[in-house]
Structures are given as structure tokens and as C-alpha cells.
A and B are shown apart, each in its own frame.
Chain A
């Protein structure tokens, strides 16, 4: 009987369950959102080269990708990610609330800990046959839209809020008119998919709808994959800034002794080299020199933020996305 723990340990050892030793780690794990692989493959390659040059040591940066809400959940349940690079601030906040990430995480790195950003834009079929220019074209009777369900998709939440922000400006905060505009906007949706990628498939492969509304980074990827001659990107007059927040997962990094490397890795995203890679992959960046260099790839647009227009995410979640919130009311009776 006394040999049992030894046997158990041997079995777990054989299964690869050996603990991570708390000395200078030779690898870190970046838990990211589901469509960021290409981007971070490029970032990691560059950072590993820099790390080797600076320290003479090799560093392996492992990547985990899934929806960022699922990633947050997995980290709470024990996924040992040293850093998170998410596309939803609320998912980092979940980690902060449970003490995995510093409470003031958004102040730990510049620009609200968001080294790059994107915005909802329109993807239309080649030549823009319906003449779509701005949000008010999307409520026309002859236009059918595709974007995921704001109930399940973070991507679509930005789309919904961007349309609302446009209407708030256009109607000078006349709530009844704003409500009517958004109702018509939602009524024009041909298919509500659960996620961004499913909506892309509906628009691109099933050829449903006239306009796909999604992040600018996505439209770049779609045109790269399916052909720049098949679709045009249309940037509206105003859109909503979508942050891509980053944070060191302190609870994991302290255990693994990787705090320094993890912090340096995230800082690298703000360096000119890091910002260049981000811009090359269709993201708008903070570094002014780099942004200038890529100005041709990004059409000018006026951006508003969730904080300015709606008073922050907690207020938004309560007013719009909660049970019986404005979204539910606008979707009802359709």
C-alpha cells in the first residue's frame, strides 16, 4: 500500500503531468481569441528572435486560441496562460474579478492596455451594387444584412452599439427615433449566426445578404482569403473603437516566475517592430510613425468609444444586453 503514491506519481509523470518548475521558464503561453493565430505567429517569431539576441536564450511562445470568454473560463479552471491577448475587455475583467489579473490591469500598459484596435466596417459585394456608404444605407428596404447575434457574439455587440451610436448622433439623442432606427437595422438582418466566422460563411459561401458587418481586421482577412476582386470594404463615416486588451496573468506568471518575460512580451507589442506586424495584419495601431506608414491601408474614420457614448461596459451590459434590455425589446415583435 505504501508504494501507491509512488506508482501514482510515476503514472502521472508518464502522462506528462509533471509540474512546471518555478525557475526562469523557457516557454510562455499566450491565450488569445480564436482568429488571431496568423498575427501572433508573426509576432512570436519576431519576439523570440529579439529575446535570443538580448539574452542568448531561446524562448518558446505557445499559443492557445478559442473564443475569449471560453479562454477566460479555462484560465480560471487552471489553463496556465502567462499572458492574455483578448478582443473583449469584459473577459479580462472576469479574470481581474477573480484575482488572476491585477485590478488596475488597464493602467498597466499604455492606451488602456490595448496595443491595437479595430472597428466594425462593412463588406459589400464587388463594385458595391447597392451603393452602400454609411449606416443610414443599412436601414433601406432593399438592403439585407449579415452579422452575428449580439446576444452571443462580442463582434456583433460592437456592430449593434456602433449603429446605435450613429443613430444617437443623427437624431440628437431623440430616443424614440434612435430606437426606431435600430429596430429597422435589426429587422434587415437576413441571418443571425452565433459567431463571427459563421456569419462570414453565410455571407461569403452561401452568398446571403448585401452587407456583412464585422471588424476591419476580419474584412482584410476575408479579402485576402477569398479574393480582393470579389468584395469591397466600406468604412462608414463614424464607427465604434474596439479595444484588443492585453494583460499579464499574475497568478500564473508569479507561480512560473515568468512575470518579467510576460511583461516584456506585451511591451514588445507597443514597440515599432511589434506595431508594424500588427498593422501588416489589418489592425489599426497606436504608434504614430507606424500608423503614418500604413495610412494607405486604413481609410480615415471618426471613432467614438463605449465610454464616451454609453458610459462604459457595465452600463451597456445593463441597459442593452441584459435580460429584457433594449436589445431584447428591439428584437421582440419582429
Chain B
């Protein structure tokens, strides 16, 4: 009798603490993630859908969106190839300097983007290391598209590699060794065995990398020069519109970035399911 009532009490206490914990997490999630997302869209639509669409159609905003897309088109493939190569080397081989390579790959995660931007300025800027040479040859890297691409590439470099390394380590070298004993050459092994094995993890990394490329602010802010309609990426444009007391326009542009984030989240969730069932 008394045992059963103890159990009851224990269960009800557990029920309470479960309720409080889950409720707390939901509350924090609503306040920290839910409310800001709702705010972005409600602010974007505060002057009506027509105004939001109109501000997105503004030449400067269109140029900003197009610039961000251009940067993604260049940077994501570079970092995908780099990420696969780095992960392949680190996960499948043992060589001196492997730990160092891993540290270098992860470096951008631990460096503040703004520091990255400033260091590029110190190297390629007018007062920088190669600045005078670049100027003498009329080559423009800083405050133009090449600088933005350079800075974004650095900041988003680890995403693909970071996804692939644990996956490749887990898979080991077994499949590749079998392929080799059956007479496959290096590239054959890579395209027919390694790549298919990592395809979902790779896609996952690419999606994350892409989201970060579109959202990057700090490093790009330093090297962009903020020329409207020319070197202003979408996140920079959001800030500038906000400074113009054009809150509705700023949030309309922010809503585009938020939509990209939501789509990324959706794709990421779907892929996690696929990876788990694979």
C-alpha cells in the first residue's frame, strides 16, 4: 500500500519536474527564437505587403540580393572542394602535420570575423603588404567583389570539412581498401566509393555553408566599402536601411535572410532523417 503511494508521489513529482523543465525550455525558445522571428516578419509587413515587396524591388536591394547570391555561387563550390579534400586527407590518412591541418581547417571558427576582415585589409589594403604592388598594377581586391569573396571564403571554410571528418572517420577505410584490391584507381575509388558514402553529410555541410555565406556580416563589413548597389551584401544592406530610419524596408530585406534560414532549417531536418535512416 505504502509502496504504491510512494510510487504515485514519485511519479507525480517526476511529472511536475518534467512539466516545469519542458515548459521552461519552451518558454525560453519562444522568447529567444520564436519572438524575434515573428518580429522580423511583422515589422517587414508593418507598412503592408505592397510596401515590403516594393522595397525588395528597389534597385539597391535587388543589387544586394544579387551580390549575395553571386558570392554564394563562387564561395560554396570552392569551400565544398576544399572541405572534401581536407576531410579526405584528415580522416583517411595518417601523416605528420595532420593535427596541424585540422587546427588550420578549424581556425576560422575561433577567429572573430571582424579580425579576419581586418587581417585581409592589412595584407591587400592600400597601406597593406601587397597594397602598393596591387595599386601599381591597377588591381582592385579590397572594396570590390574579390575582397568580399576572399573574406567570406575564409569565414565559411570549415563548414563542409567539419561535417565530413567525423563521418569519414566513422566509415573507416574498409570500402576503399576493397575497391583497391579489386583494381580501382585513386579517382575511381573516390567517385564510385567515397563520394557516394558521404553524399548526405556533404549536402548537409553545403547547406550550412551556404546559409553562413549569405548571412556573413563582420568580415564583409570591413572589406566591402559599403557602396550601395555595388559592394553592399544583403546583411550589410539590412543595417544601412535600418540606419536610414527605414525599419520596414530593413526588415523586409531581413525577412529574405530569415526565409533562407528557415528553408535551411527545413532541409537540414529532412536530411538528418535521411542520414539517420541511411
Q: Which residues of A contact B (CB under 8 A)?
A: 12, 15-17, 19-20, 29, 34-35, 37-38, 62-66, 74, 76-80, 197, 221-222, 224-225
When chains A and B are docked, how far (Å) is the Cα of A179 from the Cα of B265?
56
Q: Which residues of B are found within 8 Å of A221, using beta-carbon distances? A: 245
Partner of A77 from the list B125, B144, B146, B228 (CB cut-off 8 Å) is B125
Q: Which residues of B contact A (CB under 8 A)?
A: 121, 125-128, 131, 134-135, 138-146, 149, 225-231, 240, 242-245, 247
Partner of A19 from the list B128, B131, B140, B143 (CB cut-off 8 Å) is B140
Contact status B230-A62, CB under 8 Å: yes
Q: Which residues of A are found within 8 Å of B228, using beta-carbon distances? A: 37, 62-65
CB distance from A161 to the nearest CB of B (A): 24
When chains A and B are docked, how far (Å) is the Cα of A12 from the Cα of B149?
12
When chains A and B are docked, how far (Å) is the Cα of A78 from the Cα of B147?
11
Select from chain A the residue with minimum beta-carbon distance to B248: A225
Contact status B145-A16, CB under 8 Å: yes
Contact status A76-B126, CB under 8 Å: yes
Q: Which residues of A are found within 8 Å of B138, using beta-carbon distances? A: 19-20
When chains A and B are docked, how far (Å) is the Cα of A62 from the Cα of B242?
19
Q: Which residues of B are found within 8 Å of A64, using beta-carbon distances? A: 225-228, 231
Given contacts A16-B144, A197-B243, 9 further A-B contacts (CB under 8 A): A15-B144, A17-B144, A35-B244, A35-B245, A64-B227, A76-B125, A77-B143, A197-B242, A221-B245
Contact status B245-A225, CB under 8 Å: yes
Select from chain A the residue with minimum beta-carbon distance to B131: A78
CB distance from B213 to the nearest CB of A (A): 16
Contact status B144-A62, CB under 8 Å: no
Select from chain A the residue with minimum beta-carbon distance to B121: A77
Contact status B139-A78, CB under 8 Å: no
CB distance from A42 to the nearest CB of B (A): 13
Q: Which residues of B are found within 8 Å of A222, using beta-carbon distances? A: 245
Cβ-closest 6 pairs across A and B: A19-B138, A77-B125, A78-B126, A225-B245, A79-B143, A79-B225
Contact status A78-B230, CB under 8 Å: no
Contact status A78-B145, CB under 8 Å: no
Answer whether A19 and B139 are a contact pair too, CB < 8 Å, given A34-B243, A76-B127, A78-B126: yes
Q: Which residues of A are found within 8 Å of B127, using beta-carbon distances? A: 76-77
CB distance from A101 to the nearest CB of B (A): 14
When chains A and B are docked, how far (Å) is the Cα of A76 from the Cα of B126?
6
Answer whether A15 and B145 are a contact pair too, CB < 8 Å, given A35-B244, A65-B228, A76-B126: yes
Residue of A16, A37, A38, A78 with most chain B CB atoms under a 10 A cut-off = A78
Q: Which residues of A are found within 8 Å of B143, using beta-carbon distances? A: 74, 77-80
When chains A and B are docked, how far (Å) is the Cα of A20 from the Cα of B144?
12
When chains A and B are docked, how far (Å) is the Cα of A300 from the Cα of B146?
50
Answer whether A77 and B140 are a contact pair too, CB < 8 Å, given A62-B230, A65-B226, A65-B243: no
Q: Which residues of B are found within 8 Å of A16, using beta-carbon distances? A: 144-146
When chains A and B are docked, how far (Å) is the Cα of A35 from the Cα of B225?
15
CB distance from A48 to the nearest CB of B (A): 14
Select from chain A the residue with minimum beta-carbon distance to B221: A66
Contact status A17-B142, CB under 8 Å: no
Select from chain B the residue with minimum beta-carbon distance to A77: B125
Partner of B140 from the list A29, A78, A197, A225 (CB cut-off 8 Å) is A78
Answer whether A12 and B139 are a contact pair too, CB < 8 Å, given A17-B146, A77-B121: yes
Contact status A78-B142, CB under 8 Å: yes
Contact status B244-A38, CB under 8 Å: yes
Q: Which residues of A are found within 8 Å of B243, using beta-carbon distances? A: 34-35, 37, 65, 197
Q: Which residues of A are found within 8 Å of B140, using beta-carbon distances? A: 17, 19-20, 78, 80
Contact status B126-A77, CB under 8 Å: yes
CB distance from A174 to the nearest CB of B (A): 41
Q: Which residues of A are found within 8 Å of B229, using beta-carbon distances? A: 62
List 22 A-B pairs, Cβ < 8 Å.
A12-B146, A16-B144, A16-B145, A17-B146, A19-B140, A20-B138, A29-B227, A35-B244, A37-B228, A37-B240, A38-B244, A63-B227, A65-B226, A66-B226, A76-B127, A77-B121, A77-B142, A78-B134, A78-B135, A79-B225, A80-B140, A221-B245
Q: Which residues of B are found within 8 Å of A37, using beta-carbon distances? A: 228, 240, 243-244
Q: Which residues of A are found within 8 Å of B125, using beta-carbon distances? A: 76-78
CB distance from B120 to the nearest CB of A (A): 10
CB distance from B98 to the nearest CB of A (A): 30
When chains A and B are docked, how far (Å) is the Cα of A321 from the Cα of B121?
28
When chains A and B are docked, how far (Å) is the Cα of A79 from the Cα of B138?
13
Select from chain B the residue with minimum beta-carbon distance to A225: B245
When chains A and B are docked, how far (Å) is the Cα of A15 from the Cα of B127?
22
Select from chain B the residue with minimum beta-carbon distance to A63: B228
